[in-house]
Structure 1
Amino acid sequence: MNKVKVGIFGATGYAGLNIFRILSNHPYVDLKYLSSHSYSGESYKKLFPSFNTDMVLKTSDPEIARDLDACFVALPAGETSKFVTKLIEYNNNIVIIDLGADFRFKDKEIYEKTYGIKHNCPEILTSSVYGLPEINREKIKKAKIIGNPGCYPTSILLGLYPIIDRFKGSIENIIADSKSGVSGAGRKLSKEFLFCEVNESVRPYGAKFHRHQPEMNDQIRLISKDAPELIFTPHLIPMQRGILSTIYVFFKEDLPEEEKLKRLYYERYKDEKFVQILENELPTTAMVRSSNLCAINICKTSNNTIKIFSAIDNLIKGASGQAVQNLNIIFGFPEELSLTNIPEVI
Structure 2
Amino acid sequence: MSSTRPVLRAFVCALAIVTIAANLLPLVEFAMAVRAGEALLTPGVIGVVLLLVLAPLSAAGLALVLAWRSWMRDDARVLALFLGLLSYALGAEGTWSVLRKSGLPDWAVSVLDTGMPLAAVAGMAVMIRFSGIFPRPLSPRDIRPGVSRAGRIAAYAQLWAMDPARLRSTAAWFCGLVVVVPQALSISTDLRGDEIDLVVYAKYLVLAALLATVTLSAANLRTNYRLADAAGRRQVFWVLEGFLFATAVAVLASALKLLQNATGYQAPLPHWYALALVGAFLGLLACLAIALFGSGALDPSLALRRTAVSGMLGLLAVVLFAVSEQVMQEWLGARLGLSPRTGGIVTGVALGLAFEPLRTRTSAFVERQLARFGAEAPAPATPLPVGTVLA
TM-score (norm 2): 0.26
**Bigger proportion of residues as strand:** 1
State which structure, 1 or 2, has the greater radius of gyration over its C-alpha atoms: 2
TM-score (norm 1): 0.28
**Bigger proportion of residues as helix:** 2
